[in-house]
């Protein structure tokens, strides 16, 4: 029989170099107030009726594996976005894509570059791969510093993450910026453009990654059905990229990861793509009105192009999170600031009450 010792279990040293991903908190229960979770960038609108109808239909049963290749869904993605199915892949949310694209590009001999603050999984997935990480600070207005990011590329760089609209700060990359950046990046370096919120972007100059795929085979577009489609619980993401990159990703993703139910719901939602985009514009209009109301109170709010706004509170982030919690509101405290998802109008009105009171209580708050 083996002796139990006090020696720690041997885990990879890289695990000590980055924090775990921490989901958005649930709202606190406060008597007399409806709780609202504005911490996870979920779609607050009801699901499309056609999607609900599909979810109510019986499937093939839990004893059968789903279509591992997601043939029907990949074909429809190709039809909607004008690419061949061979240039697409379907995964268990965009999160699996982040892991897979890192696995096929990165190890302890490579470097990875990403903007910061941005999506919290970038340091996690690149750190787990053992890559040397280079987090490039955003510009003061919350935008990517693409000049600094391009300057950071070395012979060892294997992967660059971009995020447009940037989560959590909100601004998009412009098409001119992305084009110029790709021209500076060596063609062997994979540039993964995280477009989880692309449907909400209303800036006419926003980057159009699809137009750049043919001229830049190292570009990967990563998207999701979790946000604008309102299918966060279904866990469906997808990428559009060059066939050689897709072939690599297919080797790195989990077999049979996307269930039959999830594939069917995503397919029906994609068949309603015009309605999905119209609903995204509805949320964008709410976002713009909310951001304008915050600015009218005196807050400095970066360009908001996702389904959220960013308050760069810095050291006051904890205090603001507590103030929101007392009003049954869960917001996302990321240390450098607080991200607030667009929710029902009642929730946004209550946030505005909290922000107004917070400014009154903290008159010296630098904005």
Check which CATH number belongs to the domain holding 324 and give it.
3.90.1150.10
- Residue 6 counted as domain residue: no
3-state helix, strand, coil in the chain (%, to 5): 40, 15, 45
Q: Output the CA–CA distances (angstroms, integers) from residue 324 to 27, 109, 217, 333, in the order listed.
A: 9, 44, 45, 11
pLDDT at residue 349, as a whole number:
98
pLDDT at residue 5, as a whole number:
59
Burial of 169 (0-12, 13-18, 19+ CB in 10 A): buried
In the block, tokens 């074909």 appear at 75
How far, in Å, CA of 127 to CA of 125, rounded?
5
Q: Which contacts (CB < 8 Å, 24+ apart) does range 244-252 have?
A: 244/217, 245/104, 245/190, 245/217, 245/218, 245/220, 246/86, 246/87, 246/88, 246/89, 248/104, 249/89, 249/91, 249/97, 249/100, 249/101, 249/104, 250/89, 251/104, 252/99, 252/100, 252/101, 252/103, 252/104
Are residues 132 and 70 part of one domain? yes
Are residues 135 and 103 part of one domain? yes
Are residues 253 and 213 part of one domain? yes
- Residue 300 counted as domain residue: yes
Edge-to-edge strand order for the sheet containing 237-240?
Answer: 88-91, 237-240, 219-224, 190-194, 157-163, 111-116, 132-137
Are residues 205 and 246 part of one domain? yes
* Cβ-based neighbours of 207, under 8 Å, separated by 6 or more: 164, 172, 173, 174, 175, 177, 178, 193
| SS3 call for 191 | strand
Number of domains in the chain: 2
- Residue 169 counted as domain residue: yes
Provide φ and ψ at 92, rounded to 5°.
Answer: -75, 80
Are residues 141 and 207 part of one domain? yes
Global pTM reads 0.93
Are residues 301 and 155 part of one domain? no
**Which DSSP symbol is given to 34?**
-
Out of 271, 286, 305, a domain closes at 271
Tally of CB atoms within 10 A around 19? 9
- Residue 366 counted as domain residue: no
Are residues 30 and 54 part of one domain? no
Out of 223, 249, 271, a domain closes at 271
Q: Output the CA–CA distances (angstroms, integers) from residue 1 to 9, 10, 158, 286, in the order listed.
A: 18, 20, 46, 65
- Residue 319 counted as domain residue: yes
- Residue 11 counted as domain residue: no
How far, in Å, CA of 168 to CA of 117, rounded?
7
Residues 133, 135, 136: CA angle, nearest 5 degrees: 140
- Residue 67 counted as domain residue: yes
- Residue 5 counted as domain residue: no
pLDDT at residue 8, as a whole number:
77
From 106, 166, 110, select the one nearest 136 (Cα to Cα): 166
Are residues 330 and 207 part of one domain? no
**Contact indicator for 138, 110 with CB cutoff of 8 Å:** no
**Contact indicator for 113, 167 with CB cutoff of 8 Å:** no
Provide φ and ψ at 95, rounded to 5°.
Answer: -60, -40
Are residues 329 and 221 part of one domain? no
Are residues 263 and 315 part of one domain? no
**Contact indicator for 46, 345 with CB cutoff of 8 Å:** no
How far, in Å, CA of 186 to CA of 158, rounded?
10
Are residues 186 and 151 part of one domain? yes
| SS3 call for 158 | strand
Range of the domain at 199: 49-271
Q: What is the CATH number of the domain that holds 82?
A: 3.40.640.10
| SS3 call for 174 | strand
CA 169 to chain CA centroid, nearest Å: 11
Tally of CB atoms within 10 A around 346? 11
pLDDT (tens, 9 = 90+) of the chain, 367 residues, equals 565 556 678 888 888 877 777 777 778 788 889 999 999 999 999 889 999 998 888 766 787 888 889 999 999 999 999 999 999 999 999 999 999 999 999 999 999 999 999 999 999 999 999 999 999 999 999 999 999 999 999 999 999 999 999 999 999 999 999 999 999 999 999 999 999 999 999 999 999 999 999 999 999 999 999 999 999 998 999 999 999 999 999 999 999 999 999 999 999 999 999 999 999 999 999 999 999 999 999 999 999 999 999 999 999 999 999 999 999 999 999 999 999 999 999 999 999 999 999 999 998 888 7
How far, in Å, CA of 240 to CA of 208, rounded?
13
Out of 231, 250, 271, a domain closes at 271
Are residues 166 and 222 part of one domain? yes
């Amino acid at each position: 029989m083996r002796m139990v010792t006090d020696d720690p279990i041997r885990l990879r040293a890289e695990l000590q170099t980055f924090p775990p991903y921490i989901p958005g908190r649930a709202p606190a229960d406060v008597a007399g107030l409806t709780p609202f979770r504005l911490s996870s960038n979920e779609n607050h609108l009801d699901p499309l009726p056609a999607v609900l109808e599909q979810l109510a239909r019986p499937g093939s049963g839990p004893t059968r594996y789903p279509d591992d290749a997601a043939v029907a869904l990949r074909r429809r993605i190709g039809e909607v976005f004008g690419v061949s199915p061979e240039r697409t892949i379907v995964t268990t949310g965009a999160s699996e894509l982040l892991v897979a694209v890192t696995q096929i590009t990165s190890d302890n001999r490579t470097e990875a570059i990403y903007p910061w603050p941005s999506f919290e999984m970038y340091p996690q997935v690149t750190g787990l791969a053992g890559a040397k990480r280079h987090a490039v600070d955003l510009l003061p207005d919350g935008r990517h510093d693409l000049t600094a990011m391009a300057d950071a590329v070395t012979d060892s760089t294997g992967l660059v993450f971009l995020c447009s609209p940037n989560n959590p700060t909100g601004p998009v990359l412009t098409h001119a910026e992305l084009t110029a950046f790709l021209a500076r990046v060596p063609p062997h370096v994979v540039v993964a453009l995280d477009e989880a919120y692309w449907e909400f972007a209303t800036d006419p100059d926003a980057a159009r990654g699809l137009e750049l795929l043919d001229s830049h085979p190292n570009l990967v577009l990563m998207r999701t059905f979790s946000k604008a489609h309102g299918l966060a619980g279904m866990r469906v993401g997808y990428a559009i990229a060059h066939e050689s990159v897709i072939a690599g990703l297919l080797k790195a993703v989990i077999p049979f990861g996307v269930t039959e139910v999830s594939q069917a719901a995503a397919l029906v939602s994609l068949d309603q793509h015009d309605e999905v985009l119209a609903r995204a514009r509805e949320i964008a209009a709410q976002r713009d009105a909310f951001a304008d109301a915050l600015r009218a109170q005196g807050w400095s709010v970066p360009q908001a192009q996702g389904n959220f706004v960013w308050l760069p509170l810095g050291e006051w982030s904890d205090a603001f999170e507590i103030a929101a919690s007392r009003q049954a509101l869960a917001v996302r405290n990321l240390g450098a600031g607080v991200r607030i998802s667009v929710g029902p109008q009642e929730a946004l009105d209550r946030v505005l009450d909290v922000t107004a009171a917070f400014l009154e209580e903290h008159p010296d708050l630098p904005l």
